[in-house]
Structures are given as structure tokens and as C-alpha cells.
């Protein structure tokens, strides 16, 4: 606590008072009084200056004036904040700061768990395939006939899709049609690490496959799965994947319907109990996650409705609910 200043009394004495010890000498001739005389004393040491009453009054007026100025300059310094002040500050921030969209935040959460899946197989060696390859070689200025080792067949891409990591030891969910018939499978993680993968489980009735990656990033983050029990039409969703091999790409939309069924264009398979959504999806999105605004996986994108042979999105996509996908990976349903 700051100690208040102490002030001494004024050193001045009243002029009418005679100094202590003064004597009046009488004139021997007429007896009249003379001026008082002071007994001889040693010279007093010079006194230190101390503020008097006028100085104190001036200093007090200066302090009061400074306080009044401070009150004018900072009138709200000691005022307690109210809810109205907080609301105004929040509104000011919302109007001046650019915040990420809910879809952007959801995609950022799931991004470390999304992988690119590529299936490879041996190139066909039919006469038609050989003739096509000769034409490509001639167009590129290469010999028409391939070397003997290439003539025997080489690895080419059979299918490109997406997967999502659900266990940090490298267990990945994807679509069965992405990897079916592939001789080798490679997955590329979010940090660029490429790893061979093997199929460890399938669920053909739901077009699901489970992969095990052989090499893993040091900081692999698995996705969080969310039950679809409370999912409703109109809920916002985001699809993340590699459409036509480009990505990871993000598209946003809503749940269009529940418990839908879908029959493949060839009519070979019919899937049931699907989530219908309108977030853009195209070939290459297959096997990717359909997530909510918290970045939690609701399903695995598996098909798009295509009344034509163009294989482009017309606004109707389907995903297998994560409950089915979890059982494919050996995890109990929610």
C-alpha cells in the first residue's frame, strides 16, 4: 500500500512575537525603551526547504486536475464489462474476420485419414491391345514393337478410388469394386507416403473391402466414426475423395434420403439401406468418407446414379452407412 506523504508545518513565525530571550536595554539618561537586542548566538545552519501551505495547495490542485483529465480521457477504465459489450465485440469480429466454412473445418479434420487407392494389373496382350499400343508408340516416336519384357505384360492402373483409415495400425476401408481384380494395390497417405496394401476382408453385399497398409506415416490419425441412428434428411454432409484421380477434393451438400436402394448399371448387384446425398461425387470418390460437420464418418461413398453412359454426377449419390462398414472391418456396430 502506498504511504501518504507527510508535510511539516511552516517555518515562519508571526512578526509581532519577540524572539525568546530578548532583553530591553534602558537609556541611562532618559529611561526610554530601545529596540530589543538579541543575545549573541552562534550562526544557525541553513534550513532545508519544506513545502508550506501555499505549496501544498498548489500541489493538491495539480493532482486533482490530473485526475480529472484522466477521467475524461479514460472514462471506462474501471467500468465492468456487460453482456452487451461482449456481444458487440463478437459481432465486430464476425464482421471483420474471415472465418472458415463448416465444410472447410470438417474437411480439415478428416484430411489426415483419407488415402488414395490404386489397383494395378497386368496389361492386356490381345491383338487389339497390341495394335493400339503400336499406334501410341509411333505417335511418340518410339519403336512400334515393344521390348520383349514389355511384350510379356506390365503393371497398369486398373482402378483409382479413395479410402479412409479407421485404425491407426493402417486398417483402411474402401469399395470392393475399386480393388477387385487387382494384382497389386498401393495407397498414398496424406503426407505423400506410398505403401503397398493387401486385402484382409471383404463384404460383397455392401461393396466394401478392408485393406492393410504395409508402411505407415509416423503421425497417422484414424478417422472417428459416427452412428447414423439420428441422421435426418437435410443434415449437412461433406464428401472427400479423389474424383478422376484428382484430390483430395471436397464437395458439400445435404442428406437427401435414407434407406435407399441402388442397382448397378449392369444389373449384377443391388445395394440396400443406403444414404442418399447430393454432394458432388464422381468416379474416384468411391470408397471415400461421407462425413458430418464435425468431421466424423457417416458412411462410405459407393455409387452415383447415372442414367447415361457419361459417368458424371447428376445430383444423386449413395453411401454405405458406417454401421455396415464397421462390421466389415470386424468392429461391432454402434
pTM, full prediction: 0.65
Which positions ≥6 away from 164 have C-beta within 8 Å? 110, 113, 114, 115, 172, 173, 174, 223, 287, 288, 289, 297, 300
Span 120-178, pLDDT tens digits: 998 766 666 667 667 666 665 666 565 554 545 678 888 899 999 999 999 999 999 99
Concatenating the DSSP letter of every residue in 104-150 gives: HHHHHHHGGGEEEEEEEEEPP-SHHHHHHHHHHHHHTT--SSPPHHH
Please give the positions annotated as active site.
177, 207, 286
Asked if the model's pLDDT at residue 196 lies above 60, the reply is yes
Summarised one tens digit per residue, pLDDT across range 276-318 is 999 999 999 999 999 999 999 999 999 998 877 777 788 999 9
Contacts of 12 (CB under 8 A, 6+ apart): 52
Instruction: Say what percent of the chain tops pLDDT 70.
Output: 66
Greater confidence (156 vs 76) lies with 156
pLDDT value at residue 312: 78
Query: Which pLDDT score is estimated for 243?
Result: 94
Range with the lowest mean pLDDT among 4-18, 115-129, 180-194? 4-18
Q: pLDDT tens digits, residue range 86-115?
A: 888 888 877 777 778 999 999 999 999 999
H or E segment to which residue 321 belongs:
strand 317-321
- Is the confidence at residue 69, as pLDDT, over 60? no
Amino acid at each position: 500500500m502506498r504511504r501518504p506523504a507527510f508535510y511539516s508545518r511552516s517555518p515562519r513565525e508571526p512578526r509581532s512575537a519577540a524572539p525568546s530571550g530578548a532583553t530591553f536595554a534602558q537609556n541611562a539618561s532618559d529611561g526610554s525603551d530601545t529596540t530589543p537586542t538579541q543575545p549573541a548566538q552562534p550562526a544557525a545552519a541553513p534550513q532545508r526547504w519544506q513545502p508550506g501551505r501555499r505549496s501544498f495547495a498548489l500541489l493538491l490542485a495539480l493532482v486533482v486536475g490530473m485526475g480529472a483529465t484522466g477521467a475524461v480521457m479514460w472514462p471506462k477504465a474501471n467500468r465492468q464489462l456487460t453482456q452487451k459489450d461482449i456481444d458487440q465485440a463478437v459481432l465486430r469480429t464476425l464482421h471483420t474476420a474471415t472465418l472458415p466454412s463448416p465444410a472447410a473445418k470438417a474437411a480439415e479434420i478428416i484430411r489426415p485419414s483419407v488415402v488414395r487407392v490404386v489397383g494395378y494389373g497386368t496389361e492386356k496382350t490381345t491383338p487389339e491391345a497390341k495394335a493400339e499400343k503400336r499406334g501410341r508408340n509411333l505417335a511418340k516416336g518410339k519403336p512400334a514393337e515393344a521390348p520383349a519384357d514389355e511384350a510379356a505384360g506390365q503393371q497398369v492402373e486398373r482402378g483409382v478410388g479413395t479410402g479412409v483409415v479407421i485404425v491407426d495400425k493402417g486398417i483402411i476401408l474402401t469399395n470392393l469394386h475399386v480393388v477387385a481384380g487387382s494384382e497389386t494395390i498401393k495407397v498414398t497417405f496424406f503426407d505423400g507416403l506410398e505403401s503397398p496394401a493387401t486385402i484382409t476382408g471383404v463384404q460383397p453385399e455392401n461393396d466394401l473391402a478392408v485393406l492393410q497398409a504395409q508402411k505407415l506415416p509416423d503421425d497417422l490419425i484414424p478417422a472417428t466414426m459416427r452412428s447414423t441412428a439420428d441422421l435426418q434428411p437435410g443434415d449437412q454432409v461433406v464428401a472427400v475423395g479423389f474424383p478422376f484421380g484428382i484430390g483430395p477434393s471436397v464437395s458439400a451438400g445435404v442428406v437427401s434420403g435414407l434407406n435407399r436402394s441402388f442397382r448397378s448399371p449392369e444389373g449384377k448387384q443391388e445395394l440396400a439401406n443406403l444414404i442418399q446425398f447430393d454432394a458432388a461425387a464422381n468416379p474416384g470418390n468411391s470408397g471415400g468418407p461421407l462425413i458430418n460437420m464435425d468431421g466424423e464418418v457417416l458412411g462410405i461413398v459407393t455409387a452415383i446414379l447415372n442414367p447415361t453412359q457419361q459417368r458424371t454426377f447428376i445430383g444423386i449419390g449413395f453411401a454405405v452407412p458406417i454401421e455396415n462398414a464397421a462390421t466389415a472391418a470386424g468392429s461391432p456396430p454402434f
